[in-house]
Structure 1
Amino acid sequence: MQNGLNLIHLNGTTSLGKQQGEYAYSWSSTILKPNGEKVFDQEVRKMIVSKKVLDVGCGHGEFAINCSSLAKEVVGFDVTNLFIEHGNRKKPENVSFIQGSTKEELPFSEDQFDCAYIRKGPTSGYPALTQTVKKGGAVLGLHPGDNMDKELPILFPNLFQAKLPKDSTLKAIEKRLITANFDKWEIETVSNIEKLHSPMDVIIKRCFGQHPNIMQKIINENLDEITEIFASNDEDGLPITNSYYIVRATV
């Protein structure tokens, strides 16, 4: 603990679900090409046309609902009940949401889906997909890379936790894919620069998924220092690394 604040990773998903029932980034930034999220989203949209699709770690369901106009059916699966409730309030007829954990047996039958994707969801879902996705079906995954936001713990050591050992996320994904015994798989790293627009965006990013009181405490204690560090960088924003692993697998 430093400055009276708990140092955290940026993935406050469960906490965020309890607070607002959705998973959305609220800081302002410009993401330069290539954009890993957009690359992934485009591939998913091509994969799901007229197919029955499983969205593992669907969050509040926004992406699943957006995909519903292309797919025959989309089933969203997530551990957070408030996310599921949020999705169910907005879903079209061909979308359903089911609560459960990928660390337990998935509540789906063998060969139930034509394809599946994990968009920043749990890597623990991969082993079960070789059973619930039909033989020859495609599986796509998107996960934050080991170099994601690597500059922030260096620039703001009192606010951001240092990353895990290099390549630890990549090795964890590879282990899951090997355990899943896919017919074939590959992992591509897509990295670029994201420019945060203001000192407040640094604070918002730090407080993602946290209680509003934590944000106010950081503003009171750290805004001046953050502003000074921010001003010493590019005038069009603070550059940080935006990095993702894209998984492409075939059952």
Structure 2
Amino acid sequence: MNESLVDPRIHPDWLRPHSIEWYAQLGKLQGQYSLSWYSTISEPNAEAIFAEEVSQAVRGKNVLDIGCGHGEFTLQWSPIVKHITGLDITNDFIKTGNEANLSNVTFLTGNTKHRLPFESDEFDAAYNRRGPTSSYLDVGRVVKKGGKILGLHPGDGIAAELSEWFPNLFEPISIGTPVLENLKQRLEQGGLGHVEIETIRSMEYLHEPVDVIRMRCFGQAPSIHEWVMEKCLTEVMLIFEINAVKEGFTRHV
């Protein structure tokens, strides 16, 4: 293990990524879920494919966006949907989304680990773009029979290269396919009918050494980012220079 790289999780201000507390902090720091690092993703690009599938599924319909964040993705469908509702657990994200003040867009705060705050058969379609998989336990109730439910989620083995080349800074990835197994379990428990799961592998190229640290400290307090920069930047720059290709430092996504 590279002892010159610190483990940011030992910092007293560290919050577990994607915990409720972490999202609340990100909302207060930024008011939006906006990535802090710069990178390029190769084709096939799962985000682009998902956006195209959503555009075909939501036209003229009453739609639910699960885990909408600050609503950037939600708002782009306003011109083509009948109505779209964005649901997220983070109050500050919802406040940002509501600033758009569009007549056919609604943003609500809610926890998907509880029963979704909607009537049965309220929506024609729903999608979940990197949102909570707990929503699959109840989403089948709020979407009309035959309505499409689309999802996009990070898979297993994401960023294995980072834990290999920057040990201690990034923790080892889990063995096996726990993310996929959890998703399958949620879908089964939710009683959803016909389900198709497609795995798409792409390459993400981080542009600069500082992007490695920005990614690791995303959503954390500024004190953690400053501490990791001070402790690790020199070594990160060296590792980046040795292992990067022309496009940048590579990680699987």
Q: State the TM-score, normalizing by the size of structure 2.
A: 0.91
d(CA) in 2 for partners of 1:142 and 1:4?
29
- Residue 213 of structure 2 aligns with which residue? 203
1:152 CA drift (Å): 0.8
Of residues 240, 247, 252 in structure 2, which corresponds to 1:241? 252
- Residue 153 of structure 2 aligns with which residue? 143
Given that 1:50 and 1:70 are in contact with CA atoms closer than 8 Å, whether structure 2 keeps it comes out as yes
RMSD, aligned α-carbons: 1.6
d(CA) in 2 for partners of 1:53 and 1:204?
34
Greater shift after overlay, 56-65 or 154-163?
Answer: 154-163
- Residue 9 of structure 2 aligns with which residue? 6
Of residues 18, 22, 34 in structure 1, which corresponds to 2:28? 18
1:215 CA drift (Å): 1.2
Deviations 1:116-136 (A, max 9, x none): 000000000012111100000
1:163 CA drift (Å): 2.1
Of residues 154, 160, 180 in structure 2, which corresponds to 1:170? 180
1:21 CA drift (Å): 1.5
After TM superposition, the structure 1 = structure 2 runs for residues 66-77 of structure 1, keeping only pairs within 5 Å, are: 66-77=76-87
d(CA) in 2 for partners of 1:86 and 1:112?
25
3-state secondary structure, aligned to 2:195:
strand
Greater shift after overlay, 213-222 or 40-49?
Answer: 213-222
Evaluate the alpha carbon distance shift between residue 236 and residue 180 of structure 1 in structure 2; reply closer, same or farther with a 3 A threshold: same
d(CA) in 2 for partners of 1:120 and 1:14?
17
**Structure 1: unaligned runs, 5 residues or longer:** 243-251
Given that 1:9 and 1:160 are in contact with CA atoms closer than 8 Å, whether structure 2 keeps it comes out as no
After TM superposition, the structure 1 = structure 2 runs for residues 61-140 of structure 1, keeping only pairs within 5 Å, are: 61-140=71-150
Which consecutive segments of 4 or more residues in structure 1 shift more than 3 A?
Answer: 7-14
d(CA) in 2 for partners of 1:10 and 1:77?
19
d(CA) in 2 for partners of 1:5 and 1:236?
27
- Residue 51 of structure 1 aligns with which residue? 61
Evaluate the alpha carbon distance shift between residue 191 and residue 10 of structure 1 in structure 2; reply closer, same or farther with a 3 A threshold: farther
Greater shift after overlay, 185-194 or 152-161?
Answer: 152-161
Given that 1:65 and 1:91 are in contact with CA atoms closer than 8 Å, whether structure 2 keeps it comes out as no
**Structure 2: unaligned runs, 5 residues or longer:** none
d(CA) in 2 for partners of 1:143 and 1:61?
17
Q: Which has the higher strand share?
A: 1
- Residue 249 of structure 1 aligns with which residue? none
% identity of equivalent residues: 43
1:213 CA drift (Å): 1.7
1:10 CA drift (Å): 5.5
